[in-house]
Amino acid sequence: MARKKVIITCAVTGSVHTPTMSPYLPVTPDEIATQAIDAAEAGASILHLHARDPQSGRPSADPAVFMQFLPRIKQACDAVINISTGGSSVMTLDDRLAAALRAEPEMCSLNMGSMNFGLFPALDRYTAWQHDWEPQLLEATRSTIFKNTFADMEDILKRLGEGCGTRFEFECYDVGHLYTLAHFRDSGLVAGPLFIQFVFGVLGGIGADPENLTHMKRIADKLFGDSYDFSVLAAGRHQMPMISMAAAMGGNVRVGLEDSLMLGRGELARSNADQVRRIRTVLDALSLDVATPAEARSMLALKG
Ligand code: KMH
Ligand code: ZN
Protein backbone atom coordinates (compact mmCIF):
# COMPACT_ATOMS: atom_id res chain seq x y z
CA MET A 1 0.00 0.00 0.00
CA ALA A 2 1.31 3.45 -0.88
CA ARG A 3 2.48 5.53 2.06
CA LYS A 4 -0.06 8.18 2.97
CA LYS A 5 1.02 11.77 2.62
CA VAL A 6 2.13 13.55 5.77
CA ILE A 7 -0.13 16.17 7.33
CA ILE A 8 1.80 19.06 8.84
CA THR A 9 -0.11 20.85 11.58
CA CYS A 10 1.26 24.18 12.75
CA ALA A 11 0.30 25.41 16.24
CA VAL A 12 0.98 29.08 15.84
CA THR A 13 1.05 30.63 19.31
CA GLY A 14 -0.64 28.56 22.05
CA SER A 15 -0.96 29.67 25.64
CA VAL A 16 2.13 28.26 27.25
CA HIS A 17 4.95 30.44 26.00
CA THR A 18 5.01 34.14 26.84
CA PRO A 19 6.36 37.22 25.03
CA THR A 20 9.53 37.50 27.12
CA MET A 21 10.57 34.04 25.99
CA SER A 22 10.82 34.97 22.31
CA PRO A 23 10.39 38.19 20.32
CA TYR A 24 9.07 36.01 17.48
CA LEU A 25 6.07 34.64 19.36
CA PRO A 26 3.02 36.01 17.51
CA VAL A 27 0.76 37.97 19.82
CA THR A 28 -1.41 40.48 17.98
CA PRO A 29 -4.12 39.40 15.54
CA ASP A 30 -1.98 40.76 12.72
CA GLU A 31 1.06 38.74 13.84
CA ILE A 32 -1.00 35.59 14.34
CA ALA A 33 -2.61 35.93 10.90
CA THR A 34 0.66 36.70 9.13
CA GLN A 35 2.54 33.82 10.72
CA ALA A 36 -0.35 31.40 10.16
CA ILE A 37 -0.61 32.30 6.48
CA ASP A 38 3.16 32.02 6.02
CA ALA A 39 3.13 28.61 7.72
CA ALA A 40 0.38 27.46 5.36
CA GLU A 41 2.37 28.70 2.38
CA ALA A 42 5.36 26.76 3.68
CA GLY A 43 3.29 23.56 3.73
CA ALA A 44 1.17 23.36 6.86
CA SER A 45 -2.27 22.03 5.95
CA ILE A 46 -3.78 22.44 9.43
CA LEU A 47 -3.46 25.58 11.56
CA HIS A 48 -4.05 25.05 15.29
CA LEU A 49 -5.02 28.41 16.72
CA HIS A 50 -5.24 30.19 20.07
CA ALA A 51 -5.71 33.92 20.65
CA ARG A 52 -3.88 36.43 22.80
CA ASP A 53 -4.83 39.77 24.19
CA PRO A 54 -3.44 42.20 21.59
CA GLN A 55 -2.04 44.62 24.18
CA SER A 56 -0.50 42.33 26.76
CA GLY A 57 0.06 39.09 24.85
CA ARG A 58 -1.72 37.18 27.58
CA PRO A 59 -3.72 34.12 26.38
CA SER A 60 -7.26 35.18 25.54
CA ALA A 61 -10.49 33.26 25.00
CA ASP A 62 -12.36 36.26 23.65
CA PRO A 63 -14.19 35.32 20.41
CA ALA A 64 -13.91 38.93 19.26
CA VAL A 65 -10.13 38.60 19.26
CA PHE A 66 -10.29 35.33 17.30
CA MET A 67 -12.52 37.11 14.79
CA GLN A 68 -9.77 39.65 14.20
CA PHE A 69 -7.56 36.99 12.60
CA LEU A 70 -9.75 34.03 11.51
CA PRO A 71 -11.41 35.72 8.49
CA ARG A 72 -8.06 37.03 7.27
CA ILE A 73 -6.47 33.57 7.44
CA LYS A 74 -9.44 31.96 5.71
CA GLN A 75 -9.32 34.50 2.95
CA ALA A 76 -5.58 34.19 2.36
CA CYS A 77 -5.13 30.42 2.38
CA ASP A 78 -6.94 27.11 2.14
CA ALA A 79 -5.49 25.53 5.31
CA VAL A 80 -7.82 23.75 7.72
CA ILE A 81 -8.69 25.94 10.71
CA ASN A 82 -8.36 24.10 14.01
CA ILE A 83 -9.41 26.10 17.08
CA SER A 84 -8.12 25.05 20.48
CA THR A 85 -10.67 23.98 23.07
CA GLY A 86 -7.84 23.55 25.57
CA GLY A 87 -7.28 27.29 25.72
CA SER A 88 -5.21 27.66 28.85
CA SER A 89 -5.45 25.64 32.05
CA VAL A 90 -6.58 28.76 33.97
CA MET A 91 -9.64 29.35 31.71
CA THR A 92 -13.12 27.95 32.38
CA LEU A 93 -14.58 25.41 29.96
CA ASP A 94 -17.20 27.91 28.77
CA ASP A 95 -14.45 30.41 27.99
CA ARG A 96 -12.44 27.73 26.19
CA LEU A 97 -15.40 26.86 23.93
CA ALA A 98 -16.69 30.32 23.14
CA ALA A 99 -14.63 31.04 20.02
CA ALA A 100 -15.12 27.58 18.53
CA LEU A 101 -18.88 27.74 19.05
CA ARG A 102 -18.91 31.09 17.27
CA ALA A 103 -16.69 30.02 14.35
CA GLU A 104 -17.84 26.38 13.98
CA PRO A 105 -14.49 25.36 12.47
CA GLU A 106 -13.68 22.18 10.59
CA MET A 107 -11.46 21.06 13.47
CA CYS A 108 -10.92 21.67 17.17
CA SER A 109 -8.53 20.18 19.66
CA LEU A 110 -10.01 17.90 22.31
CA ASN A 111 -7.86 17.06 25.32
CA MET A 112 -8.49 13.53 26.50
CA GLY A 113 -8.08 13.86 30.25
CA SER A 114 -7.42 16.04 33.28
CA MET A 115 -3.81 16.46 34.31
CA ASN A 116 -1.10 18.66 35.76
CA PHE A 117 0.34 20.79 32.97
CA GLY A 118 3.82 21.85 33.96
CA LEU A 119 6.29 24.29 32.49
CA PHE A 120 8.13 24.88 35.71
CA PRO A 121 11.74 25.22 34.48
CA ALA A 122 10.65 28.37 32.65
CA LEU A 123 9.95 30.02 36.00
CA ASP A 124 13.62 30.08 36.87
CA ARG A 125 15.08 30.81 33.45
CA TYR A 126 13.94 34.39 32.97
CA THR A 127 14.94 37.28 35.18
CA ALA A 128 13.48 40.28 33.36
CA TRP A 129 9.87 39.61 32.51
CA GLN A 130 8.24 42.13 30.16
CA HIS A 131 4.86 41.75 31.90
CA ASP A 132 3.84 40.95 35.45
CA TRP A 133 1.25 38.47 34.20
CA GLU A 134 3.91 36.18 32.71
CA PRO A 135 5.50 34.82 35.91
CA GLN A 136 2.09 35.00 37.59
CA LEU A 137 0.50 32.80 34.92
CA LEU A 138 3.35 30.32 35.02
CA GLU A 139 3.18 30.24 38.80
CA ALA A 140 -0.59 29.66 38.61
CA THR A 141 -0.03 26.54 36.51
CA ARG A 142 1.72 24.95 39.52
CA SER A 143 -1.54 24.81 41.41
CA THR A 144 -4.02 24.44 38.53
CA ILE A 145 -5.40 21.23 37.10
CA PHE A 146 -5.86 21.18 33.33
CA LYS A 147 -9.46 20.07 33.73
CA ASN A 148 -10.98 17.78 31.12
CA THR A 149 -13.49 15.58 32.92
CA PHE A 150 -15.57 12.93 31.17
CA ALA A 151 -18.49 15.37 31.34
CA ASP A 152 -16.36 18.15 29.80
CA MET A 153 -15.25 15.92 26.93
CA GLU A 154 -18.80 14.72 26.31
CA ASP A 155 -19.98 18.32 26.31
CA ILE A 156 -17.41 19.27 23.67
CA LEU A 157 -18.20 16.23 21.54
CA LYS A 158 -21.91 17.01 21.62
CA ARG A 159 -21.81 20.77 21.22
CA LEU A 160 -19.05 21.00 18.62
CA GLY A 161 -19.00 17.52 17.10
CA GLU A 162 -22.70 16.74 16.81
CA GLY A 163 -23.81 20.37 16.90
CA CYS A 164 -21.42 21.93 14.40
CA GLY A 165 -19.94 19.04 12.40
CA THR A 166 -16.51 19.82 13.80
CA ARG A 167 -13.98 16.96 13.87
CA PHE A 168 -11.19 16.69 16.37
CA GLU A 169 -7.48 16.63 16.98
CA PHE A 170 -7.65 14.20 19.94
CA GLU A 171 -4.78 15.26 22.20
CA CYS A 172 -3.48 12.25 24.13
CA TYR A 173 -0.82 13.03 26.73
CA ASP A 174 -0.51 9.50 28.02
CA VAL A 175 -1.57 5.96 27.25
CA GLY A 176 -4.67 6.19 29.43
CA HIS A 177 -6.01 8.92 27.19
CA LEU A 178 -6.13 6.44 24.30
CA TYR A 179 -8.42 4.22 26.38
CA THR A 180 -10.63 7.22 27.14
CA LEU A 181 -10.91 7.90 23.42
CA ALA A 182 -11.77 4.24 22.82
CA HIS A 183 -14.50 4.60 25.46
CA PHE A 184 -16.07 7.49 23.54
CA ARG A 185 -15.74 5.51 20.30
CA ASP A 186 -17.52 2.56 21.97
CA SER A 187 -20.26 4.84 23.26
CA GLY A 188 -20.87 6.08 19.71
CA LEU A 189 -19.88 9.70 20.32
CA VAL A 190 -16.86 9.56 18.01
CA ALA A 191 -16.17 7.63 14.84
CA GLY A 192 -13.23 7.21 12.51
CA PRO A 193 -11.19 8.34 10.78
CA LEU A 194 -9.76 9.62 14.07
CA PHE A 195 -6.88 12.08 14.14
CA ILE A 196 -4.93 11.35 17.32
CA GLN A 197 -2.23 13.74 18.45
CA PHE A 198 0.29 11.98 20.68
CA VAL A 199 1.69 14.66 23.02
CA PHE A 200 5.12 14.12 24.54
CA GLY A 201 7.15 16.05 27.07
CA VAL A 202 4.53 18.03 28.99
CA LEU A 203 5.39 17.71 32.68
CA GLY A 204 2.46 15.69 33.99
CA GLY A 205 2.10 13.68 30.78
CA ILE A 206 4.15 10.96 29.12
CA GLY A 207 7.85 11.73 28.63
CA ALA A 208 9.47 12.41 25.27
CA ASP A 209 11.21 9.05 24.93
CA PRO A 210 11.24 7.03 21.72
CA GLU A 211 10.03 3.93 23.58
CA ASN A 212 6.92 5.87 24.58
CA LEU A 213 6.11 6.72 20.97
CA THR A 214 6.35 3.08 19.91
CA HIS A 215 4.19 2.13 22.90
CA MET A 216 1.54 4.77 22.18
CA LYS A 217 1.38 3.59 18.56
CA ARG A 218 1.22 -0.07 19.56
CA ILE A 219 -1.73 0.56 21.87
CA ALA A 220 -3.47 2.88 19.40
CA ASP A 221 -3.11 0.19 16.70
CA LYS A 222 -4.70 -2.30 19.07
CA LEU A 223 -7.57 -0.02 20.05
CA PHE A 224 -8.32 1.69 16.75
CA GLY A 225 -6.93 -0.57 13.99
CA ASP A 226 -6.94 1.23 10.68
CA SER A 227 -9.59 3.76 11.73
CA TYR A 228 -7.10 6.33 12.91
CA ASP A 229 -4.13 8.44 11.87
CA PHE A 230 -1.63 9.63 14.42
CA SER A 231 0.38 12.79 14.63
CA VAL A 232 3.05 13.75 17.13
CA LEU A 233 3.87 16.94 18.98
CA ALA A 234 6.61 17.23 21.54
CA ALA A 235 7.47 20.05 23.89
CA GLY A 236 10.59 22.18 23.57
CA ARG A 237 13.82 20.56 22.44
CA HIS A 238 12.03 17.25 21.92
CA GLN A 239 9.95 18.65 19.07
CA MET A 240 12.08 17.90 16.01
CA PRO A 241 13.49 14.50 17.14
CA MET A 242 10.09 13.11 18.14
CA ILE A 243 8.19 14.34 15.11
CA SER A 244 10.94 13.08 12.80
CA MET A 245 10.55 9.67 14.41
CA ALA A 246 6.77 9.92 13.94
CA ALA A 247 7.20 10.62 10.24
CA ALA A 248 9.50 7.63 9.84
CA MET A 249 6.88 5.46 11.60
CA GLY A 250 4.06 6.46 9.25
CA GLY A 251 2.66 9.34 11.28
CA ASN A 252 1.93 13.01 10.84
CA VAL A 253 3.73 15.92 12.46
CA ARG A 254 2.91 19.06 14.41
CA VAL A 255 5.26 22.01 14.60
CA GLY A 256 4.75 25.56 15.80
CA LEU A 257 5.78 28.07 18.42
CA GLU A 258 3.04 26.78 20.74
CA ASP A 259 5.13 23.63 21.22
CA SER A 260 8.69 24.92 20.86
CA LEU A 261 10.24 28.34 20.41
CA MET A 262 13.40 26.87 18.92
CA LEU A 263 14.50 25.96 15.43
CA GLY A 264 17.53 24.00 16.56
CA ARG A 265 20.09 23.94 19.32
CA GLY A 266 20.53 27.46 20.70
CA GLU A 267 18.57 29.03 17.86
CA LEU A 268 15.16 30.62 18.24
CA ALA A 269 12.72 30.03 15.38
CA ARG A 270 12.11 33.39 13.77
CA SER A 271 8.67 32.30 12.65
CA ASN A 272 6.32 29.34 12.56
CA ALA A 273 7.10 28.95 8.86
CA ASP A 274 10.74 28.38 9.82
CA GLN A 275 9.74 25.25 11.69
CA VAL A 276 7.50 24.07 8.84
CA ARG A 277 10.39 24.42 6.42
CA ARG A 278 12.74 22.62 8.82
CA ILE A 279 10.52 19.55 9.15
CA ARG A 280 10.03 19.55 5.39
CA THR A 281 13.77 18.99 4.97
CA VAL A 282 13.40 15.87 7.13
CA LEU A 283 10.34 14.69 5.20
CA ASP A 284 12.19 15.25 1.91
CA ALA A 285 15.12 13.22 3.21
CA LEU A 286 12.69 10.42 4.06
CA SER A 287 11.09 10.68 0.58
CA LEU A 288 7.74 11.58 2.13
CA ASP A 289 5.20 13.82 0.45
CA VAL A 290 3.30 16.53 2.27
CA ALA A 291 -0.52 16.52 2.23
CA THR A 292 -2.27 19.54 0.79
CA PRO A 293 -5.23 20.98 2.73
CA ALA A 294 -7.60 19.21 0.31
CA GLU A 295 -5.80 15.92 0.92
CA ALA A 296 -5.91 16.45 4.68
CA ARG A 297 -9.65 17.14 4.46
CA SER A 298 -10.19 13.93 2.57
CA MET A 299 -7.98 11.84 4.90
CA LEU A 300 -9.75 13.16 8.01
CA ALA A 301 -13.29 13.38 6.56
CA LEU A 302 -13.62 17.05 7.39
CA LYS A 303 -16.75 19.01 6.49
CA GLY A 304 -14.74 21.34 4.21
N1 KMH B 1 -0.12 22.98 24.16
C2 KMH B 1 -0.17 21.61 23.71
C3 KMH B 1 0.79 20.74 24.47
C4 KMH B 1 -5.00 22.58 23.14
O5 KMH B 1 -4.80 23.62 22.58
O6 KMH B 1 -6.13 22.08 23.23
C7 KMH B 1 -1.52 21.02 23.74
C8 KMH B 1 -2.63 21.77 23.07
C9 KMH B 1 -3.88 21.84 23.82
O10 KMH B 1 -2.51 22.19 21.94
ZN1 ZN C 1 -3.11 24.39 21.62
Ligand 1 atom with the smallest distance to the CA of 15 is 1
C-alpha–C-alpha distance, residues 71 and 241, integer Å: 34
pLDDT score at 190:
97
User: What is the Å distance from ligand 2's center to 1 Cα?
Assistant: 33
Tell me the domain boundaries of the chain: 8-300
pLDDT in tens, 251-291: 999 999 999 999 999 999 999 999 999 999 999 999 999 99
Are 233 and 199 within 8 A, CB to CB? yes
The top-level CATH class assigned to 8-300 is alpha beta
C-alpha–C-alpha distance, residues 243 and 200, integer Å: 10
The residues of the chain scoring below 70 in pLDDT are 1
Are 153 and 110 within 8 A, CB to CB? yes
State the complex-level ipTM. 0.97
C-alpha–C-alpha distance, residues 147 and 70, integer Å: 26
pLDDT in tens, 35-73: 999 999 999 999 999 999 999 999 999 999 999 999 999
Pocket of ligand 1 (CB under 6 A): 11, 14, 16, 84-86, 109, 111, 171, 199, 202, 258
* Among 16, 25, 111, 272, residue to substitute to test ligand 1 (most atoms within 8 Å of Cβ): 111
User: What is the Å distance from ligand 1's center to 184 Cα?
Assistant: 20
With CA atoms as reference, report the closest residue to 56 among 18, 22, 4, 101: 18
